[in-house]
């Protein structure tokens, strides 16, 4: 697996949140995650890893459906 640059996961989450859901708030509402405001950026990777095992797997899912 290719090494990823620092912060790749945060950038990927932000891109998917915007492109797929219309922003962090919509993404959190879609998944039923409770955080709001500035806590969403910190909580997103935790929720994603809990549900998908890793941010990389979650990103891979969206890459597959967005191609």
pLDDT digits (tens, 9 = 90+) for 34-65: 999 999 999 999 999 999 999 999 999 988 77
Task: Indicate the length of the chain as a whole number.
Answer: 67
Q: Is the pTM of this model over 0.95?
A: no
Helix (H), strand (E) counts: the chain: 4, 0
> Which pLDDT does position 1 carry in this prediction?
43
Q: State the Cα–Cα distance between residues 39 and 59, nearest whole angstrom.
A: 21
Mean of the per-residue pLDDT values of the chain: 91
Domains of the chain: which residue ranges? Answer: 22-66
**Crossing angle for the helix pair 24-31 and 39-52, nearest 10 degrees?**
40
> Which pLDDT does position 44 carry in this prediction?
97
Q: State the Cα–Cα distance between residues 43 and 18, nearest whole angstrom.
A: 16
The mean pLDDT value for 8-23 works out to: 94
């Amino acid at each position: 697996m290719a090494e990823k640059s620092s912060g790749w996961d945060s950038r990927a989450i932000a891109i998917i949140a915007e492109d797929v859901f219309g922003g962090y708030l919509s993404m959190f509402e879609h998944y039923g995650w409770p955080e709001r405001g500035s806590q969403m950026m910190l909580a997103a990777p935790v929720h994603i890893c809990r549900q998908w095992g890793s941010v990389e797997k979650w990103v891979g899912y969206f890459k597959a459906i967005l191609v």
